[in-house]
Amino acid sequence: MDNVKNEEIARKNLMRDSQEPDGISVRGPDFNLGVNYSGIIDSFESMGFQATHLSRAIEIVNNMIFDKAFVFLGYTSNMVSSGLRDVISYLVQNKKVNVLVTTCGGIEEDIIKCLGSFKIGSFDSDGASLRERGINRIGNIFVPNSRYVAFEKFIQPILEELYQLALKRGKPVTGNELIWKLGEKIKDENSIYYWAWKNKIPVYCPALLDGALGDNIYFFKFKHPEFVIDCTEDVVWFNNTTIGLKKSGAIILGAGVVKHAILNANMLRNGLDYCVYINTSQEFDGSDAGAMPNEAVSWGKILPNASAVKVFADATIVFPLLVAESFGKK
d(CA 189, CA 198): 10
Candidates 113, 181, 259, 301; catalytic one: 301
Residues in the chain: 330
Residue 179's nearest CA partner among 154, 164, 196, 166 is: 196
Please tell me whether residue 36 adopts helix, strand or coil conformation.
Answer: coil
d(CA 280, CA 138): 17
70-75/272-279 β-pairing: unpaired
d(CA 49, CA 217): 45
For the question of residue 301 being annotated catalytic, the response is: yes
d(CA 83, CA 109): 12
Angle ∠(303,304,307) on CA atoms, nearest 5: 75
d(CA 90, CA 146): 27
Catalytic positions are 301
